[in-house]
Amino acid sequence: MKSRTKVVVIGGGIAGCSTLYHLTQEGWSDVVLVERNELTSGTTWHSAAQVTNFGMNQTMVGLKTHSINLYKELAEDPDYPINYHHGDGGIRLANT
């Protein structure tokens, strides 16, 4: 393991992995991710694949749309494919 680095990302959940991914996409190379267990083994594991197209405001809808498009792009990577399927709809139920 490195003894010095410019950026240390703590936690290998969706936020930590996303941060590391986006930093490397911006050209950062002196970065490291520290995780105490397996990647995404904490709360991220419980919410896997729950990215919907709807949200409370336009900012959240835009963020979710970006995420969906990114996951589709990652799924098509022949070197590191992921198993991602996105549905076309959703439903929310409420009662009073």
| Structural domain range at position 12 | 1-48
Kindly tell me if the per-residue pLDDT of 89 is higher than 70: no
pTM (predicted TM-score): 0.70
pLDDT tens string 9-64: 999 988 899 999 999 999 999 999 999 988 888 877 666 656 777 777 899 888 88
Kindly tell me if the per-residue pLDDT of 90 is higher than 90: no
Do 55 and 87 lie in one domain? The reply is: yes
Q: Are 77 and 39 in contact (CB under 8 A)?
A: no
Question: How many domains, in total, are found in the chain?
Answer: 2
Do 24 and 55 lie in one domain? The reply is: no
Do 26 and 56 lie in one domain? The reply is: no
Q: How many CB atoms lie within 10 A of CB 70?
A: 16
Do 20 and 42 lie in one domain? The reply is: yes
Query: What is the 8-class DSSP label of residue 94?
Result: -
Do 12 and 30 lie in one domain? The reply is: yes
Do 55 and 34 lie in one domain? The reply is: no
Do 14 and 41 lie in one domain? The reply is: yes
Q: Are 39 and 17 in contact (CB under 8 A)?
A: yes
Find the mean pLDDT for residues 66-80. 89
Kindly tell me if the per-residue pLDDT of 88 is higher than 70: no
